Structures are given as structure tokens and as C-alpha cells.
């Protein structure tokens, strides 16, 4: 037997950003002022920021150098062509429209492809994606495998589509009622869970037969490809880059938040293989984002994105990225903390229903847990449960998702294992005094994407 070899990050640190330490008193006051919503905390009062992996990654020296090569022409910036070239090379989509971030692309694509009254089946909802589908007149239908809704299930491909659920929708409503199938790689709300290549191929077959498009939310596609490489039979010998390209080839178009996988602080795009869709998107982007060769971005942003895409599919990079998430996850499992299994690719998700079984879902257990974690150590996490799920647009009731989670999201190339140790120890301390945590009541509820700005008070306050 060979000895297990440790891995380390494939980079060294050239520049540092000091963190601010706070006292418990300061944090109690800050979370109260933030209405017990971690989104409303000033980041200067946060020690380790695991709110999101979106736009929070560290750029490489090459990306920073790329910023200096920004061609800030209004039209036809050379950086746009670099971006187009990177997208064609690594993802294979023919036509590209840059947008300021993922939801800009979702807006345009939803408006083009969804007709009022149509269904949009997908492998679990994502907040902004579903909202744009609804604003375009569509209704989201969940067709993910049942295992995805069970935080204890260790099924390795919880991002898979249940083809039976899709077939049942087609049988009940007809293929023409389906705008497209919306596939995310990986599935954020399920805990960063991958879809398998075999499942995607089977889905492609069914959709081709029925004449239904597959639209790819490729926000974390490189991480999904790496999970396929590690977990799917017969895929271990391939590079993640090769698998990324195959995943994209099985779909007809994509929306991308480049703030995740592609290692930039801002940016996104819409891509399609269809000229007609591209034509319409080019028309619409002018209304909502900017000209079709900049889409709300500076030339320098597009250059950083083009370089980030290249770096994001490098096997050594993804191994360390996913490895760090796994490190934190394993530590929490060893401490007996209930987390979503298997450990996902972009974060570790605490199972708030199991963590706080005495807090009913209507008292927002995940929201309360995220606030408590901040008070304990200044670690900022995010609710992914009933608050994020929002309300049913027809009935006005809360959605009651099976998954009531706190997401500890790891930015790429930003924190060290020592930071992960501090996070794990804080979660353990909160777990030890979990009986004393009460729920919250909502005192302010915004109309759209309420989790960003909602305010709460402790129950009994
Ligand atoms: N799709 C997925 C799967 C996402 O995770 C996000 C953003 C988007 C689309 C929207 O992209 O933010 O660039 O407009 N997720 C962030 C998060 C906000 O924290 O998970 P965006």
C-alpha cells in the first residue's frame, strides 16, 4: 500500500487582504441591526465570509494583468473576441452574448424562450432562475431525483433528472407546453450536487425525441465535471476540461454566472447554438444590459473572464478547490454535525432541521442558525431554506422545502485550511448549545427574492 499523499493548493499567495476581528458584543449588536439577516451585515464586521462563492474568488496574477489590457471601446472591444474564443474553445457554444452577471442572461433567455403558460422543468429550482422563468410567464416544475430532497441520502448524483417525472409532464401536458428543460451543473440548492454524464445523455435522447431544448445553467460546470471524473464509472481517465466540453455539447444553450467557476468578481453570458435565438438575444441585450459586445461589462472584465475560464478547467485547480470543501465537510462529519451528504463542490450545507429539531420551519431554523454562527465567531453563512424558497405565486403561501439548510460557501483560492478549522470549531460550539437557540419571526418581507433583504426578530423578543 502506498502512503496517502497530501495535496496542497497549486498557487502561492502574492497579496493579502487583512481581516477585521470583532468582539461578541459588536456582533450581537450588528446582527440585531441587520434584522438577523446575514445579507444585511457590513462585510467589515465579518471575519470569515462564507456567504457565497459568487464574485468572491481571488483572481490570479494573469487575470489582474488582463485587466490592464482592457479595450474600453464602446463597440467591438478586442476583449469581447477573446471571451468569445474562450467560450467556443472550452464550452463549444457557437454564439455568445455577455451580460453583467448570471441573472442578466437568465432574464434575456427566459423572455426569448418561454411563452406565457408554459412549463419549465428543471433539476431543482434556483432563486433567480425560477423568478425570471416566472416573470416571463412560465411555471417551474421540479424533476430532480427524489434523493436530492433528502439530506441524508448519499446518492452520488443528486443533480440527476428523474426521467419518469419529465415523461409524466410530457404525457400530461404535451411537449409543446414545455418551454425547455433547465439543467444546472451543479445543483446549488441541493447542496452543490452533480448531474452524471449518463443521466444527461439519457435526458438528451428523450428531449431530442420530443423536440425539447435543454438549457444549461453552467455556473459551476467545471466542478460538476470534476465530480464526474471522480465518481462516475469510466470517466476517471479524462480531464475535467474534456468532460466540461461534453456536458455543454449535450445542451442547446446556456446561461452563466462567471462569478463562480470562471473566477471573476463580476460577469456572465448567455450562449446558444441557434442563430435565431442569438439574433433575438443580441437585440434584447441592448435594452437591458448594453451593446452585444459588452453586455454591461467593461472590456477589462471580459478579459479577466476569458482568462478565468481557461484557469477554471485546470484539473489541479479544481482538485484543490473541491478538496478544500471536502476538508471542511469531513471535519464537520467527524464532529457529528448534521450536514447534507455527500459533500458538495462549492460549500458545506448544515442540515438545520436536524441541527435544530425543536424549531419549526415556520420559525426559520436555518435563518436563526446562520445568525447564531455569526454571533459565535464572525463567520458569515447563508440561509437556504424556507426564506430562500419564497412564496407560491398563485396561492401566496410559503413554499415549504424539504431542505432547510445553512450554506457555508467557500470562495475559490481565498481562505486556508486554518480558516476552515476555525469555521468547524465555531459550528461545533453552536451545536453544543443548540437547545438554547430559538426561532425567528419575519418583520419585513420584500416582494422579490426575499432572502436578500428580509428582516427578522428573535421569537419571544
Ligand atoms: N444560477 C446559479 C446556479 C447560481 O448559483 C446563481 C447565483 C445564479 C444562477 C445567478 O447568477 O448571481 O451572477 O446573477 N448564485 C449566487 C449564490 C448568488 O450565492 O449562490 P448571478
Residues with active-site annotation: 74, 126-127, 217, 260, 384, 451
- Using CA atoms, how far apart are residues 456 and 31, in angstroms rounded to an integer? 10
Angle at 94 between CA 266 and CA 141, to 5 degrees: 70
Q: Which atom of ligand 1 is nearest to the CA of 409?
A: 19
What residues are paired with 398 via a beta bridge? 391
What's the CA gap between 34 and 457, in Å, rounded?
A: 10
Reported confidence tier of residue 185, pLDDT bands at 50, 70, 90:
very high
Of the ranges 10-19, 193-202, 291-300, 389-398, which one carries the lowest mean pLDDT score? 389-398
Helix axes 417-432, 315-334, angle to 10 degrees: 30
pLDDT in tens, 376-386: 999 999 999 99
Q: Where are the beta strands (DSSP E) in 139-247?
A: 139-142, 181-184, 214-217
CATH code of domain 24-53+315-458: 3.90.1150.10
The answer, yes or no, to whether any atom of ligand 1 lies below 6 A from the CB of 129, is yes
Does position 460 have pLDDT exceeding 80, yes or no? no
Question: Are 257 and 218 within 8 A, CB to CB?
Answer: no
CA 277–ligand 1 middle distance (angstroms): 23
Residues counted in the chain: 461
Report whether 364 contacts 378 (CB < 8 A). no
Q: What does the DSSP 8-state code read for residue 230?
A: H
pLDDT in tens, 70-96: 999 999 999 999 999 999 999 999 999
383 within ligand 1 shell (Cβ under 6 A) = no
Q: In CATH, what number does 61-312 get?
A: 3.40.640.10
Cell 436578500 locates to: 452
Phi then psi for residue 275, to 5 deg, are -60, -45
Pocket of ligand 1 contains residue 158 by CB under 6 Å: no
**101 Cβ below 6 A of ligand 1:** yes
State whether the beta carbon of 99 lies less than 6 angstroms from ligand 1: no
Residues 6+ apart with CB under 8 A from 205: none
Q: What is the mean pLDDT of residues 125-133?
A: 95
Cα 244 versus chain centre, distance = 17
How many Å lie between the centroid of ligand 1 and the Cα of residue 225? 18
How many whole angstroms from 258 Cα to the centroid of ligand 1?
A: 9
Q: How do residues 138-158 score in pLDDT, each as one tens digit?
A: 999 999 999 999 999 999 999
CA distance 366 to 451: 11
Q: Which helix (H) or strand (E) holds 443?
A: strand 440-444
Distance CA 312, CA 188 (A): 18
Check whether 6 has a pLDDT greater than 90.
no
Domains of the chain, by residue range, sit at 24-53+315-458, 61-312
Q: How far is the CA of 237 from the centre of ligand 1 (A)?
A: 30
C-alpha span between 381 and 349 (Å, rounded): 10
**Position 66 pLDDT exceeds 90:** yes
In degrees and rounded to multiples of 5, residue 39 shows phi and psi of -65, -20
Separation of alpha carbons 418 and 358, rounded Å: 32
DSSP tag of 398 = B
Which tens digit of pLDDT belongs to each residue from 450-459? 999 999 999 9
Q: Above 90 in pLDDT, residue 27?
A: yes
Q: What would the mean pLDDT of 402-416 be, rounded to a whole number?
A: 97
Is residue 1 predicted with pLDDT exceeding 60?
A: no
Q: What percent of the chain has pLDDT over 70?
A: 99
Amino acid at each position: 500500500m502506498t502512503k496517502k499523499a497530501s495535496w496542497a493548493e497549486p498557487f502561492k499567495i502574492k497579496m493579502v487582504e487583512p481581516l477585521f476581528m470583532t468582539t461578541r458584543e459588536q456582533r450581537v449588536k450588528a446582527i440585531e441591526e441587520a434584522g438577523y439577516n446575514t445579507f444585511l451585515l457590513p462585510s467589515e464586521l465579518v471575519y470569515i465570509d462564507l456567504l457565497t462563492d459568487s464574485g468572491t474568488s481571488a483572481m490570479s496574477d494573469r487575470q489582474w494583468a488582463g485587466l490592464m489590457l482592457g479595450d474600453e471601446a464602446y463597440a467591438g472591444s478586442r476583449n469581447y473576441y477573446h471571451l468569445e474564443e474562450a467560450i467556443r474553445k472550452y464550452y463549444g457554444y457557437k454564439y455568445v452574448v455577455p451580460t453583467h452577471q448570471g441573472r442578466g442572461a437568465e432574464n434575456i433567455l427566459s423572455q426569448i424562450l418561454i411563452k406565457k403558460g408554459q412549463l419549465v422543468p428543471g433539476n431543482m429550482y434556483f432563486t433567480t432562475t425560477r423568478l425570471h422563468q416566472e416573470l416571463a410567464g412560465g411555471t417551474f416544475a421540479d424533476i430532480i431525483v427524489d434523493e436530492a430532497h433528502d439530506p441524508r441520502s448519499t446518492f452520488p448524483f443528486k443533480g440527476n433528472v428523474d426521467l419518469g417525472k419529465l415523461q409524466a409532464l410530457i404525457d400530461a401536458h404535451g411537449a409543446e407546453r414545455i418551454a425547455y428543460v433547465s439543467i444546472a451543473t451543479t445543483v446549488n440548492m441541493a447542496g452543490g450536487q452533480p448531474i452524471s454524464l449518463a443521466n444527461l445523455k439519457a435526458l438528451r435522447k428523450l428531449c431530442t425525441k420530443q423536440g425539447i431544448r435543454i438549457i444549461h445553467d453552467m455556473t459551476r460546470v467545471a466542478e460538476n465535471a470534476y465530480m464526474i471524473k471522480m465518481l462516475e464509472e469510466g470517466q476517471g481517465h479524462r480531464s475535467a476540461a474534456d468532460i466540461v466540453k461534453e456536458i455543454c455539447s449535450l445542451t442547446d444553450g446556456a446561461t452563466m454566472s462567471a462569478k463562480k467557476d470562471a473566477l471573476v468578481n463580476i460577469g456572465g453570458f448567455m450562449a446558444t447554438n441557434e442563430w435565431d435565438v442569438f439574433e433575438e438575444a443580441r437585440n434584447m441585450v441592448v435594452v437591458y444590459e448594453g451593446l452585444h459586445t459588452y453586455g454591461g461589462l467593461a472590456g477589462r472584465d471580459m478579459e479577466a473572464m476569458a482568462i478565468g475560464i481557461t484557469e477554471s478547467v485546470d484539473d489541479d485547480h479544481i482538485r484543490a478547490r473541491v478538496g478544500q470543501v471536502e476538508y471542511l465537510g469531513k471535519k464537520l462529519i467527524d464532529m457529528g454535525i448534521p450536514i447534507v451528504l455527500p459533500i458538495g463542490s462549492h460549500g458545506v450545507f448544515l442540515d438545520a432541521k436536524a441541527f435544530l429539531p425543536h424549531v419549526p420551519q415556520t420559525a426559520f431554523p436555518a435563518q436563526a442558525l446562520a445568525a447564531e454562527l455569526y454571533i459565535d465567531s464572525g463567520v458569515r453563512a447563508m440561509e437556504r431554506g424556507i426564506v430562500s424558497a419564497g412564496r407560491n405565486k398563485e396561492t401566496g403561501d410559503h413554499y415549504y422545502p424539504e431542505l432547510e439548510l445553512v450554506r457555508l460557501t467557500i470562495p475559490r483560492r481565498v481562505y486556508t485550511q486554518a480558516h476552515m478549522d476555525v469555521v468547524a470549531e465555531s459550528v461545533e460550539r453552536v451545536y453544543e448549545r443548540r437547545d438554547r437557540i430559538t426561532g425567528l419571526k419575519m418583520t419585513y418581507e420584500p416582494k422579490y427574492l426575499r432572502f436578500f433583504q428580509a428582516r427578522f426578530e428573535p421569537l419571544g423578543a
